[in-house]
Structure 1
């Protein structure tokens, strides 16, 4: 109950830009040889309630959505409440030297985990180019 109260107070005090952020899903971020992979724990969320966006400059990935309680049961007395429900938004700053191939990003929701795969844009070797020098 203490954690619940502390998190609720923190969410109230950290309210940024009018967006209510009561909880944030746990996430892992790692790189493979050819991609950056972000995996979020989102049990109870559906593809219809989730949104994944990449900023115009390719530096920030935002996952937003809502997780509903869904049980429909009336609670008359609660003994323990640890599962968070409601809206959330989480933004990840991508590594500075990582360039995303925007056309091949994938997001998959399976077994309560959202896995976002951001393939790295490959650069093909360009031939050496001699730069002409003009007389000023």
Structure 2
């Protein structure tokens, strides 16, 4: 049920508003939805970017972070007035910390990274590698 005496649909409406809170606005970046999946030999990150063209997306590694950022074009051509705007427009950014993406002991994401953008989905694949031993045995 809902909170207190509020009807359950009122709570659901509030959840919808909270979900749209990360969709940007004037002077703000919005955050695209993403899945991070770990496989035996790789980590796969899938980012939803519907309605965005490849030219408007940048994928880069900065330090220990993978960044996906760009701009979703506005839909204003021929528009006299917007009645409802729920789809994200304007600048977006999403950061993925590369450290700690792998569950296996001594594993980390390696230097080989590839990305494919099709059907509004950006799929970034990071191959795993065994980390160098940090502890040096002393004889």
Scaled by the length of structure 2, what TM-score is found?
Answer: 0.66
Taking the TM superposition and a 5 Å limit, the aligned residue runs for 1:27-66 are: 27-56=34-63, 59-66=64-71
Q: Which runs of 4+ in 1 moved over 6 A?
A: none
Structure 1 CA distance for aligned equivalents of residues 137 and 31 of structure 2: 51
What do the CA deviations read for 1:6-47 (whole angstroms, capped 9, x no partner)?
738x867xxxxxxx5331111111101111111111012222
Residue 106 of structure 1 corresponds to which residue in structure 2? 114
Q: Does structure 2 conserve the Cα–Cα contact (< 8 Å) formed by 1:65 and 1:89?
A: yes
Question: Counterpart in 2 of 1:7?
Answer: 21
CA distance in 2, matches of 1:92, 1:76: 39
RMSD across aligned positions (CA): 3.2
Contact 1:7/1:22 (<8 A) preserved: no
Residues 29, 39 of structure 1: 8 Å contact kept: yes
1:91 corresponds to: 95
> C-alpha separation between the residues in 2 aligned to 1:123 and 1:94?
13
Which structure: greater strand fraction? 2
The alignment status of 1:21 with 2:28, answered yes or no, reads: yes
User: How many residues in Structure 1 have an aligned counterpart in Structure 2?
Assistant: 115
How many Å apart are 1:94 and its aligned residue? 2.9
| Matching residue of 1:81 | 85
